[in-house]
Amino acid sequence: MRERLSDILVNACQSDSRRIVLSGDHGYALFDALRKKSPSSFLNVGVMEQAMVGMAAGLAKAGFRPIVYGLSAFVPMRVLEQIKMDLCHVSYPVILLGDGAGLVYSTLGASHQCGEDIAALRPLPGIKVFTPADADELEAVFEEALNTNGPCYIRIGKSDRPPVKQEKLKSTAPRVLRTTAPERPILVTMGSMTAFGAELSKAEADGGFDLGHLAVLRVKPVHAEVVEALKSAHEIWVLEEHHRSGGLASSVSEAISEAGYAVPRLRVWSLKDQFVHSCGSYQHALSEHDLSDEQVRLAFARAIREKRN
Amino acid sequence: MAENKSDTASGLKPTELRRSIVEMAYAGSSVHIGCAFSMVEVVSSLLGQVMNLGSGADDRSRDRILLSKGHGVMALYAAYSALGWLEKAHLEKYFSDGSLLHGLAEARVPLMEVSAGSLGHGLPVAVGYALGKRRLGEAGHVYCIVGDGEMNEGSMWEAVLFAGHHGLENLTIIVDANAHQAMGRIADVMNMEPFAAKFAAFGFETHDVDGHDLELLTKTFRQPSTSGRPRAVIARTVKGKGLSFMEDNNEWHYRRLTPELLEAARKELQGKSNHA
């Protein structure tokens, strides 16, 4: 996904001189191609996230369409008020890229981990929030964000699993990755959990239990298709690398109830209300939240056994 | 938008702006009168004499004023009204239900440029804007009025650092140095001096001037800059300047005008010449 991200940034800047990529001294190799092919389109503003977002607003005011890169622990978390007042309040077309979302930086500790960015941004008026899982989703998300006349946030998390399936997506509408009978649960994932969710649902299907799977690329505003796909589900399972409050499970269940439907029974595997305590691998960090691959596999197996009994 | 009558006697008149602020503040029972009064001469000089106001709002080459110390906004409302950019009715309806103007600067108001109620926002936006204009090779100078108390904010110094490093010569920061912040004197709460030396150390051309001397302000702003650096003008001002019961009295960050004080203010401002 990172190679594709680099290509997308290069293309966006080469095809539109109003594009300029700002980074607060983060991203190192990600910008190599951009700096080589379109050097004037990249600006390392220095370690100053607050002023970076303000300056992006000023550049937008001058007619540019800036892309602001940071780690999600800082963009948006450190600059939430700048996003609210400098971007949302004036609906400037600025794209915020929050990289390393979730527990990617397991060895660096709590300062660089971020499981609250979606919850923080969702109440800000007018901002769109995207959660691409792989290169194809990233492409679709950028296609929409680059053509949006208002602020957008793109959450980029862990993406080192093989892509779910390679396909050119027409929009950021949810992807139905697996359909199932109405009495079976539908698994809903976003970003880093989508490829793993696909692995799980395939394994369960191979074992004779059909679990539906819906991948969400845009959590704000929630597409009507998400509601359509889930409103009559018997049960919804949400797997997300975000805290329970305000993330994917919140977005989806609120959208269903706002559309006037009863929310189906909901089971959520998400980050717990706690920081990661000890240092270790990505899987280790996830395990403190009962979200490691192994733990989730076991939890799903248990839940499926209950369904079968 | 009106032509700037910079070389005629018909520029903005500080006393008239103060009268307008008093009436507006009374109509809306607004606080922040002292904060607006200290920057009246700066605004009069810039909008009345110095700035190229261009051919209209869409003229991209015109100079811009970005108010970072949003609580001084009544000074801009008064000036915009005097320039005919803002209908007087908006001032008369200040703070009434459904009205246009808030007690802090909002970019949604025509020509207000930036939302700056929260401190530490306007200057970074001004810096980005100046950078954008320079990249486009666009004429037009960017003037950003900041508060001395506001300069406590870290984001302000981030922006100053950036502007200095990148030599944004199309940017002038004016510090309305009225020596007070919301809860006390700058010197007691968080000393910011030496202001000019700080800006100089960040790569700015600096000027330290009497912020109520209209002629001197205008002369300073008009001085051609040859340094290729951004400019900082430390305008030494008095909070509440223009009314004896307000001057250097920080209560007027918060107090509202009573009918008696309104009368006293009208009377005192009536007695002043327009150039005072």
Candidates A20, A22, A50: best to mutate against B (most CBs of B within 10 A) is: A50
Same domain? A16 vs A152: yes
Is the pTM higher than 0.90? The answer reads yes
Write out the residue range of the structural domain in which residue B155 sits. 14-270
Judge if A92 and A194 occupy the same domain: no
The answer on A149 and A32 residing in a single domain is yes
Q: Is residue A167 part of a domain?
A: no
Q: Please tell me which of the candidates A54, A58, A89 has its beta carbon nearest to residue B132.
A: A58
pLDDT, mean over chain B: 94
- Closest-CA residue in chain A for B138? A62
Question: Both A110 and A201 in a single domain?
Answer: no
pLDDT digits (tens, 9 = 90+) for B23-73: 999 999 999 999 999 999 999 999 999 999 999 889 999 999 999 999 999
Q: Does any domain span residue A106?
A: yes
Q: What is the pLDDT of residues A192-218, one digit of tens each?
A: 999 999 999 999 999 989 999 999 999
Query: Is the CB of B128 less than 8 angstroms away from the CB of A61?
Result: yes
pLDDT at A164 over 90: no
- Residue of chain B whose alpha carbon sits nearest to that of A82: B121
ipTM entry? 0.95
* Residue B155 sits at the chain A interface (C-beta within 8 Å): yes
Q: What is the pLDDT of residue B10?
A: 54
Number of Cβ within a 10 Å radius of residue B6: 16
Average pLDDT over residues A272-282: 97
Question: For the segment A79-136, what is each residue's pLDDT rounded down to a tens digit?
Answer: 999 999 999 999 999 999 999 999 999 999 999 999 999 999 999 999 999 999 999 9
Q: Please tell me the distance in Å from A50's CA to the nearest CA on chain B.
A: 6
Domain presence at residue B5? no
The partner residues of A211 in beta bridges, in order of sequence, read: none
A89 contacts chain B (CB < 8 A): yes
Please compute the mean of the pLDDT values over residues A24-41 and round it to a whole number: 95
Please check whether residue A144 is in contact with residue A172, taking contact to mean a CB–CB distance below 8 angstroms.
yes
* pLDDT at residue B274 tops 90: no
Phi, psi of B43, deg, nearest 5: -65, -40
Report the gap between the CA of B273 and the closest CA in chain A (Å).
39
Confidence of residue B275 (pLDDT cuts 50, 70, 90): low
Tokens 């794209």 locate to A95
Residues B82 and B5: their CA atoms lie apart, in Å, by: 13
**Confidence category of residue B9, pLDDT binned at 50, 70, 90:** very low
What is the residue range of A303's domain?
175-308
- Could you report the per-residue pLDDT of A3-23, keeping only the tens digit for each? 999 999 999 999 999 999 999
Of B107, B124, B128, the CB nearest to A90: B107
Q: Is residue A227 part of a domain?
A: yes
- Search chain B and give the residue with CA nearest A85: B115
Largest CA distance in chain B: 53
CA distance B173 to chain A (A): 15
Tally of domains in chain A = 2
Instruction: Give residue B185's pLDDT band: very low, low, confident or very high (50, 70, 90).
Output: very high
Q: Are residues B159 and A51, on separate chains, in Cβ contact within 8 Å?
A: yes
Test mutation, B61, B125, B173, chain A, max A CBs within 10 A: B125
Strands (E), B18-150: 64-67, 142-147
CATH of the domain at B196: 3.40.50.970
pLDDT, residue B112, reads 94
Same domain, A84 and A137: yes
CATH number of A122's domain: 3.40.50.970
For residues A180 and A145, state if they share a domain.
no
Mean pLDDT of the region B86-95: 96
Give exposure, B54-80, as e/b (b: 16+ Cβ within 10 Å).
beeeeeeebbbbbbbbbbbbbbbbbbb
Residues 2-21 of A with CB under 8 A from B: 20
Task: Report pLDDT for A28.
Answer: 84
- For A123-138, b where at least 16 C-beta lie within 10 A, e where not — what string? ebebbbbbbbbbbbbb
Q: What is the mean pLDDT of chain A?
A: 96
In a domain, B120, yes or no: yes
Query: Which residue on chain A is closest to B136 by alpha carbon?
Result: A62
Domain-embedded: residue B79:
yes
Of residues B57, B76, B60, the one with CA closest to residue B68: B76
Q: With respect to residue A163, please indicate whether it lies within any of the assigned structural domains.
A: no
Residue B6 above 80 pLDDT? Answer: no
A123 and A85, same domain (yes or no): yes
A215 and A115 in a common domain? no
A173 touches chain B (CB under 8 A): no
On whether any CB of chain A is under 8 Å from the CB of B128, the answer is: yes
Whether A165 is in a domain gets the answer no
CA–chain centroid gap for A217, Å, is: 7
A109 domain residue, yes or no: yes
The secondary structure of residue A154, as a DSSP letter, is: E
B224 has a pLDDT exceeding 90? no
Domain count within chain B? 1
B127 contacts A54? CB cut-off 8 A: yes
**Count of A-B CB contacts under 8 Å:** 95
- Chain B residues in contact with A58 by the CB 8 A cut-off are 124-132
Burial class (CB in 10 A: 0-12, 13-18, 19+), B174: buried
Token pair of B239 as six digits:
């909070």
Angle at A1 between CA A76 and CA A199, to 5 degrees: 100
Local confidence band at A307 (pLDDT 50, 70, 90 cut-offs): confident
Q: Do residues B230 and B174 make contact, with C-beta atoms less than 8 angstroms apart?
A: no
Any chain B CB within 8 A of the CB of A64?
yes
The answer, for B275 touching chain A at a CB cutoff of 8 Å, is no
Quick one: which of A156, A158, A157, A182 has its CA closest to A68?
Answer: A156
Do A106 and A203 belong together in one domain?
no
Q: CA of B64 to nearest chain A CA: how many angstroms apart?
A: 11
Alpha helical stretches, state H, chain A: 2-15, 32-37, 49-61, 80-82, 117-121, 135-146, 194-206, 224-230, 248-258, 282-287, 293-308
Instruction: Name A235's bridge partners.
Output: A265
Q: For residues A185 and A84, state if they share a domain.
A: no
Tell me the two tokens of residue B187.
């010197």
Residue whose tokens read 């940017």 = B171
In a domain, B276, yes or no: no
Q: Note whether B155 and A50 are within 8 A (CB).
A: yes
CA distance B198 to chain A (A): 18
Phi, psi angles (nearest 5°) of residue B49: -135, -35
- B113-127 average pLDDT score: 96
Sheet holding A42-44, edge to edge: A42-44, A19-23, A65-71, A95-101, A152-157, A128-130, A218-220
Rounded to whole angstroms, the Cα distance separating B187 from A180 reads 70
Judge if A208 and A112 occupy the same domain: no
Q: Are residues A206 and A104 in the same domain?
A: no
Closest CA to A41 of A72, A11, A4, A63: A11
Comparing alpha-carbon positions, the chain A residue that sits nearest to B156 is A51
**CATH number of A227's domain:** 3.40.50.920
Listed in sequence order, the residues at least 6 apart from B27 whose beta carbon sits closer than 8 Å to its beta carbon are B91, B92, B93, B94, B95
Q: Which helix (H) or strand (E) holds B74?
A: helix B73-82
Whether A153 is covered by a domain: the verdict is yes
Window from A50-59, A143-152, A156-165 with minimum mean pLDDT: A156-165
* Burial state string for A53-74 with b = 16 or more CB within 10 A and e = fewer than 16: bbbbbbbbbbebbbbbbbbbbb
Tell whether A84 is covered by a domain: yes
